[in-house]
Amino acid sequence: MKSVVNTILFDVSKNEMFKINENYKMLHRKLKTTWKVMINREELTQNILEDVQILVVPGPQNVFTDDELACLKSVVERGDSVLVMMTDGGEERMNTNINFFLEEYGIVVNNDCVVRAKYHKFYHPKECHISNGILNRGVMKYIMKMPNYSVESDDFLSSSDLCYPVKRPIAALYTADSGGKLFVIGSGHFFADQYLECECNDLIREMVFSYLGGSIDLHLNPVDVEDPDVNEYRTLGDALFLSQVALPTPATVFAPRFREPPPPPLELFDLDEALSSERAQLARLANKCLQPESEKMAQGDSSQLESELEYFIRECGRVVRLSRALADAPSARAILHQLMVQLAAFKKIAPREE
């Protein structure tokens, strides 16, 4: 029978992003009070993992070999635990292949990130305060019974309504029939020195390592296990990339701006004059200029009446398009002459072509 050794092994053979002597100093200090914490810099083998109770893979940035992936699987199958930490961008950004191991247990780390839609507690959009995100009610029930729990603490492992994607899990847990466990968290910054003491992160840290080490028995809610309260996954376009690409006109956000029509501006057009028929325009012109003789005499002398008559004939010629056949700004006499010529030609039975 295998003897129980309280050993946690942090793997750094894949150029892991998070290291206990750099950004995990506080985590290291808390763990070494009850655990034997070790570091592995060599390729993972069965001999190295033989007495390890919890194997931590804190953000791998290199590719695992097939033998190493088989070693990770053997740890879970024999009854021990594996803790995998990632960061935003997933495998694509970290240049690793850890999903080959995780997919065997129904877990996949997406190549995206969680961003905050509006300001809440932290300044940077990727510093997301996760609140009221209940991945499993069993987790919340256990944390609420912990000695250091405060009523104000409401942080659990799923994105909230303030973040995008909305209500998506950022952590996953698998338990094998042998008792082995696999815990995956999408952001290893959760355990970093900068955030470990924020909100109730340290309580979650204590619960996770205690459960993976077998010192506590966490009863998960079976309903939440089968049907967790998460939304469907929806992707969001890369706004930074799209802002640097010249898109075609149909894909633009704003409607295209057409060239302005030639002057005068549209508001200066007389729509009645532009859209009315010739008969309506002539009637309007007659009502404007042809007034009773008594009113005309009262408004001015004979020279004024002649100017009004000149205006009336020229405007009538413009309406019926007689003025177009003459030179620019034809006189009333020229318009009347052109009118008589056309009338005479119209009344001839067989007009002679000149």
Exposed / middle / buried, residue 331 (Cβ in 10 Å: 0-12, 13-18, 19+) = middle
How far is the C-alpha of 138 from the C-alpha of 134, rounded, in Å? Answer: 9
pLDDT at residue number 335 = 84
pLDDT at residue number 325 = 61
How far is the C-alpha of 35 from the C-alpha of 27, rounded, in Å? Answer: 12
This prediction has a pTM of 0.62
pLDDT at residue number 282 = 85
Place of tokens 């799209």: 242
pLDDT at residue number 246 = 66
pLDDT at residue number 236 = 66
Q: Which residues of 186-212 are buried (b: 16+ CB within 10 A; e: fewer)?
A: bbbbbbbeebbeebbbbbbbbbbbebb
pLDDT at residue number 1 = 39
How far is the C-alpha of 180 from the C-alpha of 77, rounded, in Å? Answer: 6
pLDDT at residue number 297 = 46
Other beta carbons within 10 Å of 83 = 21
What are the residue ranges of CATH 3.40.50 in the chain?
7-243
pLDDT at residue number 18 = 94
CATH architecture of the domain with range 7-243: 3-Layer(aba) Sandwich (3.40)
Amino acid at 223: V
pLDDT at residue number 6 = 86
In DSSP terms, 84 is beta-bridged to 57, 184
Which three-class secondary structure state does DSSP give residue 170? coil
CA distances (Å), 256 to each of 242, 247, 339, in order?
Answer: 18, 13, 49
pLDDT at residue number 349 = 63
Per-residue pLDDT of the chain (354 residues; tens, 9 = 90+): 344 558 999 999 999 999 999 999 999 999 999 999 999 999 999 999 999 999 999 999 999 999 999 999 999 999 999 999 999 889 999 999 999 999 999 999 988 888 777 766 777 777 777 766 556 777 878 777 887 776 554 444 655 566 767 777 888 889 999 999 999 998 899 899 988 988 788 888 999 999 999 888 888 778 777 777 677 777 666 777 777 776 555 755 677 777 776 766 666 666 666 677 888 888 888 887 766 554 554 455 667 777 888 888 888 888 887 766 666 677 888 888 888 888 888 887 655 555
pLDDT at residue number 3 = 45
How far is the C-alpha of 159 from the C-alpha of 297, rounded, in Å? Answer: 89
